[in-house]
């Protein structure tokens, strides 16, 4: 009976977003969802995306189905953004991709594969993490969904010893989700030396790395640098999966462009692995949509468009860095209690303010500032008009 379905509360993001839209205050500030905003608070769309989309529309002569694994040109150029030159590896079947419905879809297809065909039952993901990680794996049949220590909430730094201890205790064949860069929500990434240690533990404990990369280039400003960990694992001969999202990098959130990259030591059974992926896709949605992936492919494969993309993308990253600096300065000038160096130490689109639930509520009800639990904020929801208002409000909240 439908009546017997348990009653649940709304997802925190949707609840906060709805409340923001219902708020009629002229000073309200939206820091909820991680979409890139311009200085005037409007949603930013990269001009090169518009150009490429027009080309795609002009070139479209049919809307025939794609194969379940999608457009091969797209998955190959997406994978080479991660690994560099992969021509030979691709030919030999040691690297291949599955076009997915965004990064979340890539996580889902990967989780289904690991659960159904590799008999994996345990997954570890960071505490805290992208909120849907646990649910995706649980819904895909994983019996154990564990968090590993990541953020030390006292020092606002990575608890690296805790992380190492937790994954060292994981049983063989556990899947470990690793944010490759721009960790959501903490903005704290591992150093190269730390990645080297993690790779060692993975090898020794026979764990299966599952990279999640949704912000390539947004952490360091350089796409190669942000893929360092992925390239290092590959160079160490480790086999892994990687869920790659193009939503943030191309400001194309609703086109749902993602790639699941599979990296193997040998390509001997890759044809049969691909058939397993095809079966999973067919059982879920048959085959992926065309437009977004075709647009990203157009940009990645056309040097002129790619150059334009790189240059606009760099401006986006500069804006993130400038806002971080200005926000830290505003909080320090305001004399807001606590240290604020983590704002400029963290990288990428999010700042984790580590506020209590009641502080988040206070900011909402008394200052019309909206954010999700723990005080994770979208950096680009701040701008030079509202930064000092938000800093004052945070100061007020922390002094209550």
Residue 103 or residue 217: which is nearer to ligand PMP going by CB?
A: 103
Among 159, 212, 226, 334, contact with ligand PMP (rule: CB under 6 A): 212
CB of 104 to ligand PMP, least distance (A): 3
CA distance linking residue 395 with residue 241, whole number of Å: 43
Q: In this chain, which of 36, 90, 130, 340 binds ligand PMP, going by CB under 6 A?
A: 130
- Give the pair of three-digit tokens for residue 209: 């790395």
Q: Does 397 bind ligand PMP (CB under 6 A)?
A: no
Which positions from 234 to 273 touch ligand PMP by CB under 6 A, shown as an x/- string?
-----------x-x----------x---------------
Number of residues that make up the chain: 400
Q: Helix H segments across 32-184?
A: 47-59, 72-83, 87-91, 102-117, 133-139, 160-168
Residue 330 in tokens? 């505003």
Q: Give which of 227, 232, 244, 242 is closest to 203, Cα–Cα.
A: 232
**Closer residue to ligand PMP in complex, CB, 274/376:** 376
Cα 289 from Cα 292, distance rounded (Å): 8
Task: Indicate whether 34 belongs to the interface with ligand PMP (CB under 6 A).
Answer: yes
Shortest distance in whole angstroms from residue 179 CB to ligand PMP? 6
Instruction: Output the CA torsion sign for 208, 210, 216, 219.
Output: negative
CB of 102 to ligand PMP, least distance (A): 3
Q: Using CB under 6 A, which residues numbered 159 to 188 contact ligand PMP?
A: 179, 184
In terms of DSSP H, where are the helices of 249-400? 270-284, 291-301, 303-334, 341-345, 357-367, 387-398
Gap between the Cα atoms of 217 and 349, Å rounded: 11
Contact flag: residue 128 with ligand PMP (CB under 6 A): no
Minimum CB distance to ligand PMP, residue 99 (Å): 12
| C-alpha span between 348 and 76 (Å, rounded) | 26
**Pairing, β 376-378 against β 350-352:** antiparallel
Q: Which of 68, 70, 97, 102 binds ligand PMP (CB under 6 A)?
A: 102
Q: What's the rounded Cα separation, in Å, for the pair 42 and 22? A: 18
Binding residues for ligand PMP, rule CB under 6 A, total 12
The reply on whether position 103 binds ligand PMP by CB under 6 A is yes
Q: What part of residues 338-377 is at the interface with ligand PMP (CB under 6 A)?
A: none
The tokens of 192 are what?
A: 């190269």
Q: How many angstroms separate the CA atoms of 184 and 349, rounded?
A: 8
Binder of ligand PMP out of 29, 71, 86, 104 (CB under 6 A): 104
Q: Find how far residue 9's CA is from the centre of its chain.
A: 24
Instruction: Give the residue with the Cβ less far from ligand PMP, 105 or 391.
Output: 105
Q: Which part of the chain contacts ligand PMP (CB under 6 A), choosing from 100-108, 146-154, 328-336, 365-373?
A: 100-108
Give the interface segment with ligand PMP, choosing from 2-10, 67-75, 85-93, 102-110 (CB under 6 A). 102-110
Residues found near ligand PMP in the complex (CB under 6 A): 34, 102-104, 130, 179, 184, 212, 214, 245, 247, 258
């Amino acid at each position: 009976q439908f009546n017997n379905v348990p009653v649940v509360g709304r997802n925190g993001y949707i609840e906060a977003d709805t409340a923001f839209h219902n708020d009629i205050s002229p000073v309200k500030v939206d820091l909820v969802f991680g979409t890139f905003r311009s200085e005037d608070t409007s949603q930013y769309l990269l001009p090169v995306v518009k150009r490429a989309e027009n080309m795609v529309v002009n070139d479209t002569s049919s809307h025939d189905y794609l194969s379940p694994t999608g457009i091969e040109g797209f998955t190959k150029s997406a994978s080479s953004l991660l690994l560099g030159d992969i021509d030979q590896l691709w030919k030999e079947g040691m690297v291949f991709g599955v076009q997915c419905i965004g990064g979340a879809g890539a996580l889902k297809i990967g989780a289904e594969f690991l659960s159904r065909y590799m008999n994996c039952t345990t997954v570890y993901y960071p505490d805290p993490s992208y909120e849907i990680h646990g649910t995706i794996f649980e819904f895909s049949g994983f019996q154990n969904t564990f968090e590993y220590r990541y953020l030390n909430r006292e020092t606002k730094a990575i608890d690296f010893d805790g992380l190492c201890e937790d994954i060292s205790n994981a049983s063989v064949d556990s899947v470990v989700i690793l944010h490759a860069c721009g960790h959501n929500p903490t903005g704290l990434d591992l150093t190269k030396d730390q990645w080297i240690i993690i790779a060692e533990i993975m090898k020794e404990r026979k764990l299966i790395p599952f990279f999640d990369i949704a912000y390539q280039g947004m952490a360091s400003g350089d796409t190669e640098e942000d893929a360092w960990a992925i390239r290092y694992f590959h160079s160490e001969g480790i086999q892994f999966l990687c869920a790659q999202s193009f939503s943030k990098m191309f400001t194309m959130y609703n086109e749902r462009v993602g790639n699941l990259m599979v990296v193997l030591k040998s390509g001997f059974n890759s044809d049969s692995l691909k058939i397993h992926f095809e079966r999973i896709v067919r059982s879920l949605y048959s085959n992926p949509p065309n437009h977004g992936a075709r647009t990203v492919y157009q940009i990645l494969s056309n040097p002129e468009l790619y150059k334009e993309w790189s240059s606009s993308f760099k401006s986006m990253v500069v804006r993130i860095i400038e806002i971080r600096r200005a926000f830290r300065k505003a909080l320090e000038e305001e004399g807001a209690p606590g240290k604020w160096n983590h704002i400029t130490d963290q990288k990428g689109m999010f700042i984790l303010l580590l506020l209590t639930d009641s502080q988040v509520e206070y900011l909402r009800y008394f200052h019309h500032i909206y954010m999700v639990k723990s005080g994770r904020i979208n950096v680009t929801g701040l701008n030079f008009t509202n930064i000092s208002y938000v800093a004052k409000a945070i100061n007020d909240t922390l002094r209550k």
